[in-house]
Amino acid sequence: MTVDVGVYGATGYTGLELVRLLEAHPNAHVRFVTSESAAGSSLRASHPLAPDLMLVSAQDAPLDNVDAVFLCLPHTQSARIAAAALECGARVVDLSADLRIDDPAIYEQWYKVPHPTPDLLPMPYGLPELNRLRLLGAECIANPGCYATALLLVTVPLARADLFVTGAPLIIDAKSGVTGAGRSAKQNLLFGEVQNNFSPYNIGRAHRHLAEVEQELARAGYDGMPPIFVPHLLPTDRGILAAIYAQVTDLDAAQDAIRQAYACEPLVCALPPGELATLAHVVRSPRAVLSMTPSDGNVLIIMSALDNLLKGAASQAVQNFNLMMSYPETAGLLPA
């Protein structure tokens, strides 16, 4: 069985990946792709390996003809399309931040703009490995941020098992490839600026993904210090590697908690002791890969790696779509 789907914002990096995945998905047929700036041209003009699909503007998209839509749009724009799609009876996977935060006041605090559609909140948070039951058959899912996915895969199992040392800082040093910043022309993302450079940005308590990380950590029972989050821009096109420094009450129990959380998961892999996660483990793969190294002072060093465009965005969106539609969760992502 195949359903018709639409992709809004198809010419960005995430949109292109998503279309590529959906074109190969056994149960999806891409019915339309949208772009405001490139409407009227083929998606192939946006990338030479993309399929030859004609782009339309969002308002011309035949929303009535699809069963589900994927929204790769800027925040605030996304929520409005989500509302319209749900009204038409289409299911929605929203890859923007709009539907991730349950409380519109917290959304406004981080995104500096009133929430465009507070009536839609809360929506289920689409991190299947941690939240699968809320996603099965859902009408609408908020797809997590790329950094947030990398961090929550590590911290939620520790919080659920109550293994964090109370009062100790939770330090996260993360590095992302450039596509995480989108495809809009900005001087600081030019090749001449990024090549041969490496730079921190929005460090400490400033990055917006903290909003969803803290919400989901609280839901998991975490009541410790707010995480210290230090993202950096890597001179690579894709991939996130985050080093999480967690002081835990029991190093063995902490490793077990993480290992058991993903023991049966096809798309999250905890490496054997002694191996370290790297970008090479995850780039162009729908899997997240974790490694754990116990150190002095009950500090567990956890490396969390994923492809920001896949497990951090497009392939996780496909997981969520599969759960919505009751397809096998890895359909279109792993060989059957």
Does the annotation count 146 as an active-site position? Answer: yes
Paired with 5 in beta bridges are 30, 68
Q: CB 20 → a copy of itself: shortest distance, Å?
A: 11
CA pair distance 56, 157, nearest whole angstrom: 42
* Residue 47 binds to a copy of itself (criterion: CB under 8 A): yes
203 lines the binding site for a copy of itself (CB under 8 A): yes
Measured distance CA(25)–CA(70) in Å, rounded:
14
Handedness of CA 285, 287, 288, 293 (dihedral sign): negative
Residue 236 engages a copy of itself in binding (rule: CB under 8 A):
yes
The answer to whether 156 and 223 are in contact (CB under 8 A) is: no
User: Which stretch, 78-86, 147-155, 164-172, 325-333, contacts a copy of itself (CB under 8 A)?
Assistant: 164-172
Question: What sign does the CA torsion over 323, 325, 329, 332 have?
Answer: negative
Least CB distance to a copy of itself at residue 303 (A): 6
Tell me how far, at minimum, the Cβ of 106 lies from a copy of itself, in Å: 17
Question: How far apart (Å, rounded) are the C-alpha atoms in residues 51 and 44?
Answer: 6
If the CB atoms of residues 115 and 209 are measured against a copy of itself, the closer one turns out to be 209
Structure tokens at 182: 């989108």
Q: What's the 3-state SS for 288-322?
A: EEEEEEECHHHEEEEEEEECCCCCCCHHHHHHHHH
Residue 21 C-beta: closest distance to a copy of itself, Å? 13
Catalytic choice (88, 146, 264, 269): 146
User: Does residue number 24 form part of the binding site for a copy of itself (CB under 8 A)?
Assistant: yes
Out of 33, 55, 97, 241, name the contact with a copy of itself by CB under 8 A: 241
Report strand pairing: 91-94 vs 68-71. Answer: parallel
Catalytic residues: 146
Footprint on this chain of a copy of itself (rule: CB under 8 A)? 13, 24, 47-49, 167, 169, 171, 173, 175, 178-179, 183-187, 189-201, 203-205, 225-226, 228, 230, 232, 234-239, 241, 243, 245, 247, 276-281, 283-285, 289, 293-297, 299, 301, 303, 335
